Chain A
Amino acid sequence: MAVADSGAEPTVIADHLDIIYKVIAGQGGKGTAATAFRRILKRQDRPTIREVHAVKDVNFVAYKGDAIGVIGRNGSGKSTLLRAIAGLLPPASGVVYTGGQPSLLGVNAAMMNDLTGDRNVVLGCLAMGMSAAEIQQRYDEIVEFSGIGEFIDLPMSTYSSGMAARLKFAIASAKTHDILLVDEALATGDAEFRVRSERKIRDLRDQAGTVFLVSHSLDVVLDTCNRALWLDGGVLRLDGTAEEVVAAYTKFARG
């Protein structure tokens, strides 16, 4: 009963979590109408659906005020794990329990690209359930924080990836989230923005929220997180303090 007795309030519990998803791996055959027709006649499923076992039997408990860095090589299941916590991927087996609604913030999650930045701010906030008055009140703060400046009334399709990431982070962090999942969103920002967003993450922790941060920058993990998970090939290799896990990971990475 070690966990239950520790007194801290858990916000995310992953219980024997397995995630398998189906991907369409390229085109089977020549991809012509004739091959598609033959496939239908033979009653085959789409030929190249492959199953990917992305997360294997992961267990952990996250508490209020935790900032958890998730590290590991590319393709080790980090982003998949975050999506599962956000409730966007169904677990093949096992469960994720969360208190409150987690928000996932990723780099490739563009918003409405043909709309201007300020419209994106308003729409994003409305979608998160903020009221018009609330948005008006926070609008300047969001734009300020994003550091987009005069470009705010240009369509988002004209933004650089860094600018878009900043704006999205600013929007998503405008609301106080119980659980915020950050997927590499800070990687494209410049140094100044990184400092700001790290401060924001710390604020969020102070408000008793829980932050998950996927990052390849171990410094960021060390600076902002108190705890880290190391995923390797979908398996949770190590769960411990940020220093401990980062040290083990660097040792492993160096060979």
Chain B
Amino acid sequence: MPTAAEPTGATDPAALAERYGLSKSSIRPPLNSYLRELWSRRQFVLSYARARTYAMYAGARLGSFWQVLTPLLNAAVYYLAFGVLLGTKNGIDNYVAFLLSGIFVFTFTQRCMTEGSRSLALNLSLIRTLHFPRATLPLAYVLNELNQMLVSLCLLFVIVGFTDGISWRWLLVAPAMVLQTMFNIGITLVCARVGTFVSDISQLLPFVTRTWLYASGIFFSLPAKLAEVDAPSWVIKVLALNPISAYIDIVRRSLLAEHEANELPHAWTIAIVWSFVMLVAGLVYFWRAEDRYGRG
């Protein structure tokens, strides 16, 4: 065996490594090849998301029916609290559809963030065994939530179909979903990285998202509310910059004819800008720590 026990001190390891094209074992690939690798694992993302959905409902007696039941029950609770008890529905004709679209859009982002922040920690053993781009895991989580969102949307279509009738405008929901999904991928990647290194974040996130919930105009029309309290006109411009408000608004515009009165200014533009900025920022931010996930 020529290989055993060579005096390694006799040569310069770095030069030897370079001669045979070896690379440092813990190195982060350049962003473009990382993205290419990520794309090549799309089948993994899909299968993993499917497996997770399956595992999530496997123990429940009603099975995947919970995908429909959960948003319904959620909506019922909020309707009871805000529509009936607090009476915030004044001025909005189709309050059910108004409320549901807000809750569903918000829940989509919120679940992505809270679940995504644990996506790496919960899969440590997989990460430590196999080499694959780590971003696939948060992406699979987003796909899970997108799936849930589409089920909720179908529910919403049925409700609006019964109350307002079917409309061509509905087609605009598709680009709205694409934009929100892009935003969610970005923010989930950020949460995943932060959640991996600062595990306190998963304790904190529910409070952050709940605050966000109340600031996003889900239970009431923001312009109407502000007009009520005589707020200066710049307040609505600032509030309209909130990405969640923008995504909710573009979905409502696409679904509800009477929403024009309650529209936020420039919602589509704001939604588009947020989507691209967040997606790119999230990818870069996540990738920059790629070589550090799963350590310890």
Hey, which bits of chain A sit against chain B, CB under 8 A?
1-4, 6-15, 21, 59-63, 65-66, 83-91, 95-99, 101-106, 108-112, 114-115, 119, 122-124, 126-129, 131-132, 168, 172, 226-227, 239-241, 244
Query: Which of B38-46, B211-219, B268-276 lies at the interface?
Result: B38-46
Using CB atoms, name the residue of chain A closest to B22: A97
B55 nearest CB across to chain A (Å)? 5
- Interface: B23 (CB within 8 A): yes
In the bound complex, CA of A21 to CA of B292 (Å): 13
Residues in B whose Cβ lies below 8 Å from that of A111: 125-126, 129
Q: Is the pair A10, B17 in contact by a Cβ cutoff of 8 Å?
A: yes
Query: In this assembly, does B5 line the interface, its C-beta being within 8 Å of a C-beta of chain A?
Result: yes
Residue contacts A-B, CB under 8 angstroms, 19 given: A3-B11, A9-B20, A10-B16, A10-B17, A10-B20, A62-B3, A87-B25, A90-B292, A95-B13, A95-B14, A102-B25, A103-B129, A105-B129, A115-B51, A124-B130, A128-B131, A129-B40, A129-B41, A168-B129
Alpha-carbon gap, A106 to B10, bound state (A): 33
Q: Please, how many angstroms separate the alpha-carbon atoms of A114 and B1 in the complex? A: 45
Please, which residues of chain B bring their CB within 8 A of the CB of A101? 131
Given A127-B44, A172-B130, A98 and B23 contact (CB-CB distance below 8 Å): yes
List residues of chain B with CB within 8 A of the CB of A63. Answer: 2-3
Q: How many residues of B contact A (CB 8 A)?
A: 49
- Nearest CB of B to A80, in Å: 11
Top 6 A-B pairs ranked by shortest CB distance? A97-B17, A126-B44, A87-B25, A15-B13, A97-B22, A109-B129
Q: Are A109 and B125 in contact (CB under 8 A)?
A: yes
Which among B17, B21, B291 is the interface contact of A87 at CB below 8 angstroms? B291
Chain B 17-31 interface mask (CB, 8 Å, partner A; 1/0): 101111111110000
Within 8 Å CB of B158, what residues of A?
Answer: none
Are the CB atoms of A13 and B17 closer together than 8 Å?
yes
- A9 contact set on B, CB distance < 8 A: 20
Residue of B nearest to A98 (CB): B25
| Chain A neighbourhood of B7, CB < 8 A | 2-3
Smallest CB–CB gap between A168 and chain B, Å?
7
Kindly list chain B residues whose C-beta atoms are within 8 Å of the C-beta of A13. 8, 13, 16-17, 22
Q: Is B128's CB under 8 angstroms from A109's CB?
A: yes
Q: Nearest residue in A to B6 (C-beta to C-beta)?
A: A3
Q: Is the CB of A11 within 8 A of B22?
A: yes
B294 at the interface (CB under 8 A from A): yes
Indicate if the CB atoms of A227 and B1 lie closer than 8 Å. Answer: yes
Q: Are B5 and A239 within 8 A (Cβ)? A: yes
- Please give, as numbers and ranges, the residues of chain A lying within 8 Å of B136 by CB-CB distance: 127
The residues of A that contact B8 with a CB separation of less than 8 Å are 3, 13, 59-61
Once the chains are docked, how many angstroms separate the CA of A29 from the CA of B9?
47
The answer to whether B25 and A86 touch across the interface, beta carbons within 8 angstroms, is yes
| B-chain residues with CB within 8 Å of residue A102 when the two chains form the complex | 25, 131
Other A-B pairs, 14, CB within 8 Å; known A4-B16, A101-B131, A105-B129: A4-B11, A13-B16, A14-B13, A59-B13, A61-B8, A90-B26, A91-B26, A112-B55, A126-B43, A127-B44, A129-B132, A168-B129, A172-B130, A226-B4
B25 touching A97, Cβ below 8 Å:
yes
Give, as a whole number of angstroms, the nearest-CB distance from A11 to chain B.
7
Q: How far is the CA of A109 from the CA of B123 in the complex (A)?
A: 10
Note all chain A residues with C-beta closer than 8 A to B131.
86-87, 101-103, 128
Within the complex, what minimum Cβ distance (angstroms) separates B53 from chain A? 11
CB-CB under 8 A from B54, the residues of chain A are 115
Bound Cα distance A165, B136 (Å): 25
Give min CB distance, A239 to chain B, whole Å.
Answer: 5
Contact B4–A8 (Cβ < 8 Å): no
